[in-house]
Structure 1
Amino acid sequence: MSCRLSLPPARRAWLDVALRVTAAVLGGYVLTYAATAALARLLPLARFDAAMVATLLSFALYTGFVLWAFATASVRRVWLGIGLSLPLAALGFWPVWFGGAS
């Protein structure tokens, strides 16, 4: 038995677009937020400068992710790409989550 949905082609196309839009907007935000936090913590600059550089890079990262979400071959790849936010979030928010020094 297959897990594939047996939808008409027009409905399948709309579902694909809806999943990509959701992934691009919400998933892109999550990925960008986690990457910005990780960059702000890892860049070898003063705290303010690292946060500023990470924030400026986040605009390009978000735009790139949205473009990639619609250019990639499958929606599954987009959602797997969003999974990259988990290690980035761990890097960026480790001290906050576990009560270490900031």
Structure 2
Amino acid sequence: MKPTSSSPGRVRVLLSRSAAAILGGYALTSAVVIFLGAVLPLPKSQAILAASLASFAVYTAAIVWVFAVQDNRRAWLGLLLPAVVLAVLGWWLGRGMV
């Protein structure tokens, strides 16, 4: 069996994607929970529970998506930009500013 060589570049890409999947996926999932908790037409406790249940699907999809895209920048931006937008909107809507 031939030993496989891993260049430092490939290791960095894998570490970056893993960090994006774990940290960026968590940030996106948290933002989705904040947003859905604010916009679902349910009592607050039920809206947060429903959003928390949906978070399992969001986190799984985020992890799969990170490893499916072509480059690391798209993986990071594709998670962090929607996370920031959803968190701000969720916070804004949850405060009753609309």
Band of TM-score, shorter chain? 0.7 to 0.9
Shift of 1:61: 0.3
Tell me the residue number matched to 1:55. 52
Aligned to 2:40: 43
Matches within 5 A, 1:19-98: 19-82=16-79, 83-94=81-92
* CA distance, structure 2, for counterparts of residue 45 and residue 74 of structure 1: 39
RMSD of aligned C-alpha atoms?
Answer: 1.9
Q: Work out the CA distance in 1 between the residues paired with 2:62 and 2:35.
A: 17
Paired residues in the alignment total: 91
AA at the equivalent of 2:16: L
TM-score by length of 2: 0.83
Distance, in Å, in 2 between the alignment partners of 1:27 and 1:90 is: 16
Look up the equivalent residue of 2:89 and give its one-letter code. L
**Structure 2 unaligned blocks of 5 or more:** 1-5
User: What is the CA-CA distance between 1:89 and the residue it aligns to?
Assistant: 0.7
Counterpart of 1:3 in structure 2 is none
Q: Which residue of 1 aligns with 2:3?
A: none
Deviation, structure 1 residue 92: 1.7
Dislocated runs of 4+, deviation >2 Å:
none
Identity, % of aligned pairs?
39
SS state at 2:7 partner: helix
